[in-house]
Structure 1
């Protein structure tokens, strides 16, 4: 998004024969900020884009349409972020954050249910390990199994989120991935 808008602003500015300093004077934005916008280093605010559009004598919608076109190109990255959030919600063995995230995003991607069930299964594993640890704590007065169970669950949730972001298979104790299914059938 940043790069496309910046390139467009630079192109329009050069067509007008303006320097970055000239545009900065007309927009009440520093020349350094104009430079950073054009280089794609910053994402300009709507007000700044309005000022730039006015100074360049173009419609503000020209920049908005450019931004919207680019936003539509990256739904996969958005889905990956939500998949990662879903897995991270498994850090705490409470089911309702996971259900809330899934309920809000279930219609946005076909894979959301797979990640939802993986996060739930990890939470159930954490619950089982924690209950066994609590039983051991009750019988032997030793809290180490409970702590290890919770830390292990948190570690797996963080690893799964990282694996989802980097397009790798995530850990799921109950549901086999397609890669695992094909290895078993071979």
Structure 2
């Protein structure tokens, strides 16, 4: 459980409003709202003030963030899923296939990510090939830059566990339901 979620849960259990908590801690209501919605991570002195107001131990609030551990599946995902997306920068299909085969039993949802990256790479290759053959340099440059930007943006989204999308992708490989 995240710190903000725990603070909200403890505050509601005590029957305290956000306004009352803000008064007791000398922290703005907006800051309390941002902490509880997990938009921001509170600093230590803010946590200490909230812990005092909620009559709980500081350690209880300070130790709630998920810490990555070795062998933790979420930690595995946090490394390999962005890497599989980043491998798309090479516009080669082999790296994502190798990563998918290597980690398919250890990383949940890696097949969907690998399929998305491979489909995008195949689509971009299909679009770039005629541009190269017919010397349509402006389209070649635009598509090249476009594919690199999309890959970098999606890698950052996957790194922060947000949904991603590869536009202009033909579904060569389809997910089994």
Higher helix share: 1
TM-score when scaled to structure 1?
A: 0.48
Structure of larger gyration radius: 1
